Structures are given as structure tokens and as C-alpha cells.
Copies of this chain bind each other. A is one copy, B any other.
Amino acid sequence: NDISHDEAFEILLAAKKNAEDSNVLVNIAVVDAGANLKAFIRMDESFLGSIDVAIKKAKTARYFDIDTGELGELTQPGGIIYNIEHSNGGLMTFPGGLPIKNKDGKIIGAIGVSGGTIEQDRAIATAGAKSIVD
């Protein structure tokens, strides 16, 4: 139950198309079930700093099998896992990272998007993740 490179490419292209349709410049990363980098694309003129953010969003989403935006609700001051971002070489805990599920609902990897607003990043990540189950 691991994502294939064909699926990873399909997800990358679906996310990129969504970003282009929305006129957003992003970096898009896909990791496999082991949270290892599987596929990546950096759109021209997107933020330099978003390369690492996109990769870390994807890894974070798979490390804890969660939407990175939901994780961020738990890591705020006073939250139950405040500052967990200091683990695993740095976590990203705002929207834009999502687990990728296959048609059976099993998590097979994750996607991370960075470069737009957090709403745009999440929408692009969602479009990517959904592309292999539609």
C-alpha cells in the first residue's frame, strides 16, 4: 500500500493544473508511505522559501496522518502538543499538507503545497490528492 511513481506524477500534474487555473505559483511535493520524497515540482517564479515548506508539509501530513492545518490547531500556545514543530527536523503545521488515500481509503502517501495563501495551498493539495480516486 505505497504510492507508485505513476500515481505521484498524476497527483503532481493535477495539483499543478489546479494552481495554474487559479493563477497561483507554488511548489508541490509528494511523499510515499514512508514519508520519503517521491515527486516534486517547483513552478517558475514561485517563492524560493516554499521548496522546503512544501516538502515539510508533505512529510508532516504523513508523519501523523493528518491535514497539517488541523495539526496546527493543536500546536498553538496552550495547545496539547505546543511546539511539536521542533521534532523530526522541523514540522509545518498550517494548511497545505494532506494525506493521500487510495480508493480503499488507505493512506499511501501525502502531498504538500506552498506558495499561495493557506486556502489556496490547501485547495491545490486537495485537488492533487483527489485526482487518483476520482
Contacts and interface: CB of A to CB of B under 8 A. Distances in A.
Given A41-B5, A83-B85, A86-B92, A48 B36 contact: yes
B35 A48 contact: yes
Number of copies: 4
Contact of A80 (B34, B44, B94): B94
Interface of A is mostly: loop
Contacts of A89: 52
A36 to B, nearest CB: 6
A48 B76 contact: no
Interface residues of A, number: 53
A118 B40 contact: no
Contacts of A38: 41-42
